[in-house]
Structure 1
Amino acid sequence: MEYGCIGKKLGHSFSAVIHAKLGDYDYRLCELTETELTEFMTKKDFKGINVTIPYKEAVIPFLDHIDESAEKIGAVNTIVNRNGVLTGYNTDFYGMTELLKRGKVELADKNVFILGTGGTSKTARAVARSLGAKKISIVSRNPQDGEISYDEMYNEANEVEAIINTTPVGMFPKPDASAVDPEKFPNLGGAADAVYNPLTTEFIGRARACGANAVNGLYMLVAQAAKAAELFFNDKTMTEKTDRVFSEIYKEKLNIVLIGMPGSGKTTIGKIVANTLGREFYDTDEVFVNENGVIADYFKKNGEKAFRDKESEIIAELGAKNGLVIATGGGAVLREENVKHLKQNGLVIFLDRDVENIVPTSDRPLGSDREAIQKRYDERYPIYSSVGDITVDSNRDVNTVADDIIRKFSGYCREEQV
């Protein structure tokens, strides 16, 4: 391996994709146990590596030199091998600083609470100090050496003005967790999460709902990777590529999720969008049928709740993936948990079709006649409107609608990247 990333679990990592966009060099992911780490670092059989959880501190004893800023932080995430001499750097400092700047998360004169005590936590402390934080509190499940517990943090809820999560809580494959409850901090103005998968973590989604400026870790990941590549190749132009690479990654990873009434064209239009963009297409109703049989028969035998439970399982699974086009059933947005799962990695687009243009069909248990369609429409229209990030008129030709979706999706990705 010439270049790559080492860590304990890397199944969630975007690093190889990012470095492929930064330049034409071989970059690989290398999962190591603690025992394997010792052997790997002793052999020095690499030119440059990134280091992630949980080895940002563990690699330090193997280094011949350590950059001054990395030494002060006490954590290394980038190592360059120059003729057998290993030098450690911390490009996370640069990445986190750029993330906070881009997301307008203000730390100056703020009470900043940093969740976690590992290598990224140490970086966050250094960044907070450099940006003029008034007070920095380190929150741990097992506090020591001046750290505080999560209970103590909640007891000081009115003092919490900014939170940086450096723990893996909320990371794929367990995206439903949040390290803290943002709603309990009435003066929370800014939040940042080092987790980047899913694109909108539970913590960040809830912090935004509270009105805080809140950003996930994807931009930090790209920025620190560009800074690392600069060190690998002594190429000052690498960091100039950060915005472009971030924009491309974000667009590639963000799902396109179609919601709307049964008969609004979600499946037909979704397939056209997926084919045009070269993406995989999933229809949650089709997935259900493949796994459980005809929906109308299942409804009749098991009831609506059983159907909705199965539907929620399908949505949670698909919502955790990246780069898909997903067409949902008409009632999918009736459950808040479904909306959350669809938005974790997705842009939700409401296909708005006039009720008179929706044709009742016998295979829809709750939309088999005109009266039923009108009732569902009246019940659900406000929900579709509030849940959708973007609304598209689907009374037009399906190809025109698909083109409109692609155009608006691209525009959203340019404007809402963090």
Structure 2
Amino acid sequence: MKYGLIGEHLGHSFSKQIQTRIAEIENVKDYDYQLVELNKEEFKEFMEKKDFKGINVTIPYKKDVIPYLDEMDGSAKAIGAVNTIINVDGKLKGFNTDFGGFLYMVKAHNVHMEGKKVLIIGNGGACAAVKAVCEHEKAKDIVIVSRSADRGAIGYDEMYTSHLDADIVVNTSPVGMFPNIANAPIDVSWFHKLECVLDVVYNPILTRLCFEAQEADIKRVIGLEMLIAQAKYTFEIFENMSFDDSIIDEIKKEMLKDRCNIVLIGMPSAGKTTIGKMLEEKLGKEFFDLDDMIIAKAGKSIPEIFQESGEAGFRAIETEVAIEASKMNNKIIATGGGAIKHKVNMDFLRLNGITIFIDRDIDKLISSDPNRPLSSSKQALQQMHKERYPLYQKYAAYVAVNNANIEETVDDIVNAYHSILIDAVAD
């Protein structure tokens, strides 16, 4: 093997994708990068064999590799963990590019740590690199919080009783990582001075922690950027070359474009399904209709669900399906007209998606569809529109008017989607 990533579980790793893309951009030929899952016994054999030119190291081996090394650079020594190794004539040298990756994340978003109190959530391998950056940036107080109050960390109870004056929070724990995306390691509303949240978790795009910070109008920085930055620095070590950091933003934009969902909201018969299928063809993102997913999950039609379980029963299934859909990537998702009535649906769908409100004049909406029990009359439709319209506006990242030329509406959505992604890169 020439290059690769070793770890215990690599099923959701983006490292190969990023490394391959860097090689393409920098025109490095025959760049081979593999993902190698190793258990404890396989890890020992792999390291002793040294059959590689360069490797990245992830959980749980960032410290376990150290006894096999002949040399470590300054960052790796200071941090006490290694995530990059090169093999030079049988001699192994270790590096830690997590330091540079996190420092880039901090600098790119103008996060000022000097004189501030920083809480670091989690006490694993990534914590050491983050702590080193915080020290480098002259943070006044650095407090490590972990479920196990040991190895220099405090417990969550002590955090909530003594450190609610933190200025910055960094999550290095796996809390909120796919597939368990419902959780956040802390409740940001408890912190009275909090000005910034940084999360090293990169899947989902927006973790629950970052989402809650965003909702509270607190600066949040997503983990995808650190992942790409450390990969860039790794590539430079592997190939003994250097290139501009602008490649990080370029790849971040590409990955957001490839991974981010488009979530269509709006009244029944506003055109969500038709527009969704047109977007599927235009963008190459697979189309899903939440109503179809509800029917499949329940094994019965929507009118049958309403007849047997009422609206409350239908909404319960809708929320279950919305949570399932929120874990998907690179999809077009059309929601039912009432999905916005329950905040939890929209909170989940926005973790991996950009919401587009398909706004259609009420006189162009259908009020006699037997598959839509709540909009079976003109009067019911008008009342529904009055109640829901403010919620569509509240949850929309963009409003697309669909009253005339639907092709123009689709083009408008595509342009808005790309514009929002560009803003996300600069955010």
Report the TM range for the smaller structure's normalisation.
over 0.9
1:29 aligns with 2:35: yes
Alignment-mate amino acid for residue 73 of structure 1: I
1:61 alignment counterpart: 67
1:3 alignment counterpart: 3
Alignment-mate amino acid for residue 8 of structure 2: K
1:298 aligns with 2:305: yes
Alignment-mate amino acid for residue 283 of structure 2: L
1:241 alignment counterpart: 247
Q: CA-to-partner distance for each residue in 1:120-176, whole Å, 9 max, x for gaps?
A: 100011000111101111112122244211111111244211111111111001001
Q: Tell me the TM-score normalised to structure 2 length.
A: 0.95
1:390 aligns with 2:398: yes
CA distance in 1, matches of 2:163, 2:132: 23
- Partner of 1:333, secondary structure, is helix
Structure 2 gaps, min length 5:
25-30
* Distance 1:396-1:19 versus aligned 2 partners, 3 A rule: farther
Cα contact 1:125–1:136 (8 A) shared by 2: yes
Q: CA deviation at 1:351?
A: 0.7
Q: CA deviation at 1:209?
A: 2.2
1:132 aligns with 2:145: no
1:107 alignment counterpart: 113
Q: CA deviation at 1:69?
A: 1.4
2:15 alignment counterpart: 15
Alignment-mate amino acid for residue 370 of structure 1: K
Alignment-mate amino acid for residue 119 of structure 2: F
Q: CA-to-partner distance for each residue in 1:198-248, whole Å, 9 max, x for gaps?
A: 011011111222232111210000000011001110120264421111110
Structure 1 range deviating more: 383-392 or 25-34: 25-34
CA distance in 1, matches of 2:222, 2:418: 20
Which runs of structure 2 are paired with 1:403-418 in the superposition (5 Å)? 403-417=411-425, 418=427
- Partner of 1:414, secondary structure, is helix
- Partner of 1:366, secondary structure, is helix
Structure 1 range deviating more: 124-133 or 282-291: 282-291
Q: CA deviation at 1:357?
A: 1.1
CA distance in 1, matches of 2:40, 2:403: 59
- Root mean square deviation, CA, Å: 1.4
Choose the corresponding residue for 1:187, options 175, 183, 193: 193
% same residue: 43
CA distance in 1, matches of 2:376, 2:107: 52
Q: CA deviation at 1:294?
A: 1.5
CA distance in 2, matches of 1:289, 1:330: 15
Q: List structure 1 runs of 4+ shifted beyond 4 angstroms.
A: none
Q: CA deviation at 1:293?
A: 2.4
- Partner of 1:344, secondary structure, is coil
Q: CA-to-partner distance for each residue in 1:43-82, whole Å, 9 max, x for gaps?
A: 1122221111222111111111111111111111111122
- Partner of 1:75, secondary structure, is coil
CA distance in 2, matches of 1:101, 1:254: 25
Alignment-mate amino acid for residue 17 of structure 1: Q
Choose the corresponding residue for 1:365, options 373, 378, 389: 373
- Partner of 1:86, secondary structure, is strand
- Partner of 1:197, secondary structure, is coil
Alignment-mate amino acid for residue 325 of structure 1: I
- Partner of 1:251, secondary structure, is helix
Choose the corresponding residue for 2:172, options 125, 144, 166: 166
CA distance in 2, matches of 1:102, 1:367: 49
- Partner of 2:411, secondary structure, is helix
Q: CA deviation at 1:350?
A: 0.7
* Distance 1:105-1:212 versus aligned 2 partners, 3 A rule: farther
1:284 aligns with 2:290: yes
Which runs of structure 2 are paired with 1:210-225 in the superposition (5 Å)? 210-225=216-231
Cα contact 1:142–1:149 (8 A) shared by 2: yes
CA distance in 2, matches of 1:181, 1:55: 31
CA distance in 1, matches of 2:288, 2:47: 43
